[in-house]
Chain A
Amino acid sequence: QQKVQQSPESLIVPEGAMTSLNCTFSDSASQYFAWYRQHSGKAPKALMSIFSNGEKEEGRFTIHLNKASLHFSLHIRDSQPSDSALYLCAVSHTGGADRLTFGKGTQLIIQP
Chain B
Amino acid sequence: GGIITQTPKFLIGQEGQKLTLKCQQNFNHDTMYWYRQDSGKGLRLIYYSITENDLQKGDLSEGYDASREKKSSFSLTVTSAQKNEMAVFLCASSMDRGDEQYFGPGTRLTVL
Q: Which residues of A contact B (CB under 8 A)?
A: 1, 4, 32, 34, 42-46, 49, 88, 90, 94-105
Residues of A contacting B: mostly: loop
Q: Which residues of B contact A (CB under 8 A)?
A: 4, 31, 35, 40-45, 48, 50, 58-59, 90, 94, 96-106
Known: A43-B106, A103-B42; 8 extra A-B contacts, CB below 8 A, are: A1-B59, A43-B4, A45-B102, A88-B43, A94-B98, A96-B97, A98-B48, A104-B42
Contact A98 to B31, CB < 8 A, known contacts A1-B59, A42-B105, A43-B105: yes
Supply 14 A–B pairs (Cβ within 8 Å), ascending by A: A34-B100, A43-B104, A43-B105, A44-B43, A46-B101, A90-B43, A94-B98, A96-B98, A96-B99, A97-B94, A98-B97, A98-B98, A99-B48, A103-B42
